[in-house]
Amino acid sequence: METTIYYFTGTGNSLKIAKDLCENITNCRLIRICKRNMNINEVTSERIGFVFPVYYRGLPKMVANFIKNLDVNLGKYFFAVANFGSYAALTFEQIDILLRSKGKSLSANFSVEMPGNMWFMYYPHPKEDFINRMNNQSRITINIARMINNNYENNIPVIKNRYKEEKMYEDFNPNNIDENFWVSEKCIGCGICSNVCPAENIEIIEAKPSWEHRCEQCLACIHLCPQTAIEFKKDSINKERYKNIFVKTKDLF
């Protein structure tokens, strides 16, 4: 059985998980969910996976739109692997609803705890947890791959505090959030922010980034700037940046 994994990533956690899965699933290929690939709308594999970070308790908007557009007629087994700072919240149910509207359903869901990358707005857990989560991720992912190879099925977990979680996701409107990004004099106009943006939302104008209000809020630009020149309001000043240590910046281009 051929497997295709569609993944969305900002700072590399989802890419690392998707790569580990693919290496341990027989006959597997990886496709990034990003602006350039939004017109891939036909599934050719029988086994289909989605790997993504949780945003505001739900799916990144680009992931939801990608699945909405996908023709899944040939798919027989669908799995979702969420990664997050706290939990998968609404994401599995959201994917299941999208698949059901096409006559399919989510066969299996899996969760991987990762370092939260929104820490300049809130700091979700102690730093030692970052290290533990990094160290545990491969082992957990290889175990998930084994279950996928066996077409393991499970039920979607019950969502606690549904009202609160749905309210939070309703407030997630990322497109114009980029009005809060600004660039300091440390910027050398290298263009890495533009290259890593999955939404192709950053143009380099007169050697400085300019955000075009199609932001997905993945935070790749701010975290991956090698000069730490990009800031979010005043919240990020003098705060450490985050990138998955097992992923190279150019793997995110």
At its nearest, how many Å lie between ligand FMN and the CB of residue 27? Answer: 24
Cβ–Cβ contacts within 10 Å for residue 154, how many? 13
Q: What is the Cα–Cα distance from 56 to 180, expressed in whole angstroms? A: 18
Q: Which of 4, 111, 117, 137 binds ligand FMN (CB under 6 A)?
A: 117
Radius of gyration of the chain from its Cα atoms, rounded to whole angstroms: 18
- Shortest Cβ 151–ligand FMN spacing (Å): 26
Q: Is 213 left (phi over 0), alpha (psi -120 to 50) or beta?
A: left
**CB of residue 71 vs ligand FMN: minimum separation in angstroms?**
25
Q: What angle do CA 170, 203, 224 make, to 5 degrees?
A: 70
Structure tokens at 3: 């497997």
Residue closer to ligand FMN (CB basis): 48 or 247: 247
The only residue of 57, 181, 187, 197 in contact with ligand FMN, by rule CB under 6 A: 57
Q: Which of 69, 86, 105, 184 binds ligand FMN (CB under 6 A)?
A: 86
- Would you count residue 14 as binding ligand FMN (CB under 6 A)? yes
CA nearest neighbour of 137 among 253, 59, 58, 24: 24
- Part of the chain binding ligand FMN (CB under 6 A), chosen from 32-40, 81-89, 189-197, 203-211: 81-89
* Contact residue for ligand FMN among 219, 221, 225, 230 (CB under 6 A): 219
Position 53 contacts ligand FMN (CB under 6 A): yes
Cα–Cα distance list, 141 to 18, 19, 21 (Å): 9, 10, 6
Segment lying near ligand FMN (by CB under 6 A), choices 69-77, 95-103, 211-219, 225-233: 211-219
Contact between 10 and ligand FMN by CB under 6 A: the answer reads yes
Residue span binding ligand FMN (CB under 6 A) among the ranges 48-56, 69-77, 91-99, 103-111: 48-56
How far is Cα 173 from Cα 229, in angstroms, rounded to an integer?
25
- Alpha helices, H only, 40-184: 61-69, 91-100, 127-149, 162-170
For position 137 contacting ligand FMN by CB under 6 A, the verdict is no
Question: If binding is defined by CB under 6 A, does position 85 make contact with ligand FMN?
Answer: yes
Q: Which of 58, 50, 125 is nearest to 94 (CA)?
A: 58
Residue 20 CB, nearest approach to ligand FMN (Å):
13
Query: Which residue ranges make up the site for ligand FMN (CB under 6 A)?
Result: 9-14, 53-57, 83-87, 114, 116-118, 217-219, 244
